[in-house]
Amino acid sequence: MPSWVDGHPAESLSIKDRGLAYGDGLFETIAVRAGRPPLLEYHLARLAEGCRRLGIALDLALMRTELLAFSAGLGEGVAKLMITRGEGLRGYAPPPVALPRRILQSSAFPAYPEANAEQGVRLFPCATRLAEQPLLAGLKHLNRLEQVLARAEWQGGEFAEGLMRDQSGRVIEAVFSNLFLVRDGGLVTPDLSRCGVAGVMRAALLGSARAQGIEVDVRDVSYGELLQADEVFLCNSLFGIWPVRSVTEQNWPVGPLTRKLQAIARDLLDI
Ligand SMILES: C=C(O[C@@H]1C=C(C(=O)O)C=C[C@H]1N)C(=O)O
Ligand SMILES: Cc1ncc(COP(=O)(O)O)c(C=O)c1O
């Protein structure tokens, strides 16, 4: 599968890269179908926000053109885009002038069991807690050690995902997806102003739900409220929506609103 660095085929990059040294950068995990990324503009919007907040001077127009060309060559699969601040010497201070590095890797779609979407998944209750840092909240930056530690908490196939809470015990998301709950026919999804990744599938579903007149609440969610939900589901830019069937002592059905939004997610991903 091809990989590019700064727009050219390459399999390596400088050891001076700040993404390697400090996680000084951002990434996007982009589904590509029939040679195009269905959620391209959502990915570019999140990337632009991340570059703005980190002060990385990325040429978005160039990035769009490059992603379209890479996707056309890939056809079907996952394009993983990493943007770093570029090269630097030792020390945290961002260099006054830094040329961002653009890294594109490709891979096949993960072979998730069909049952995850059809029958739903069990959530592992992760002990790892998300640190609160509003300056980075929502960004898909390259500092993913919390997710690495959380994902290492369970092995085997009993649990397809893990529940992530913050230091105050608020429900935030899952390890590699966002979380929604359904209460009285309306949608609730955790506020991500302190921590968590604002997923592109989450953004697309919020827009679709509002356009269909479905009440949507973005706010703090306690663990107790999660357990009281009528339906729970996860979403991300690769698998769309997985219904959640259980976490520890609580079980849920696959509900009607989850199924309705699952069909919308499939359309958004051109599945
Ligand atoms: C961890 C990555 O991306 C996340 C993982 C998935 C997935 O495995 O389904 C999808 C999107 C991201 N939340 C990655 O290395 O790209
Ligand atoms: C920690 C985390 N939360 C949520 C998501 C879902 O994001 P998206 O919908 O952009 O795939 C991801 C995937 O990138 C993630 O790694």
| CATH code, domain carrying 60 | 3.30.470.10
Same domain, 174 and 90: no
Whether 146 and 242 share a structural domain: yes
What's the pLDDT at 44?
98
- Please check whether residues 68 and 141 belong to one and the same domain: no
Active site residue 29: yes
pLDDT at residue number 147: 98
Check residue 265 and give its pLDDT.
Answer: 98
ipTM field:
0.96
Whole-number pLDDT of residue 89: 84
> For residues 101 and 140, what is the distance between their CA atoms, to the nearest angstrom?
16
67 shares its domain with 173? no
Mutate to test the pocket of ligand 1, among 1, 83, 141, 236 (most ligand atoms within 8 A of CB): 236
Q: Which domain holds residue 11?
A: 3-107
Atom 8 of ligand 2, residue of closest alpha carbon: 199
Among 28, 84, 161, 173, which one carries the catalytic annotation? Answer: 173
Q: How far is the CA of 198 from the centre of ligand 2 (A)?
A: 7
Residues 6 or more apart whose CB falls under 8 angstroms from that of 80 comprise 27, 28, 29, 30, 104, 105, 106, 107
Domains in the chain, number: 2
Question: Is 161 found in the same domain as 88?
Answer: no
Beta strands in 18-160 (DSSP E): 25-32, 77-84, 101-107, 121-130
**pLDDT digits over 177-195, tens only?**
999 999 999 999 999 999 9
pLDDT at 236: 98
* Residue finishing a domain among 78, 107, 136: 107
Residues 44 and 118 grouped into a single domain: no
Residue 136 CA to ligand 1 centre (angstroms): 18
Q: Which CATH number is 231's domain given?
A: 3.20.10.10
Give the pLDDT of residue 164. Answer: 98
Give per-residue pLDDT as tens, 116-130.
Answer: 999 999 999 999 999
Residue with the smallest CA separation from ligand 1 atom 16 is: 29
128 in active site: no
162 with 244, same domain: the answer is yes
Same domain, 181 and 51: no
Query: 147 with 209, same domain?
Result: yes
- Distance CA(78)–CA(71), nearest Å, equals 9
Domain boundary residue, one of 53, 75, 107: 107
User: Which one of 61, 79, 107 terminates a domain?
Assistant: 107
Same domain, 146 and 185: yes
Q: Are residues 120 and 223 in the same domain?
A: yes
| C-alpha span between 200 and 138 (Å, rounded) | 11
- Could you state, in chain order, the average pLDDT of each consecutive group of 10 residues for the chain (271 residues)? 96 96 98 98 98 97 98 98 95 94 98 98 98 98 98 97 98 99 97 98 98 97 98 98 95 97 97 91
Q: Are residues 123 and 99 located together in one domain of the fold?
A: no
pTM of the model: 0.97
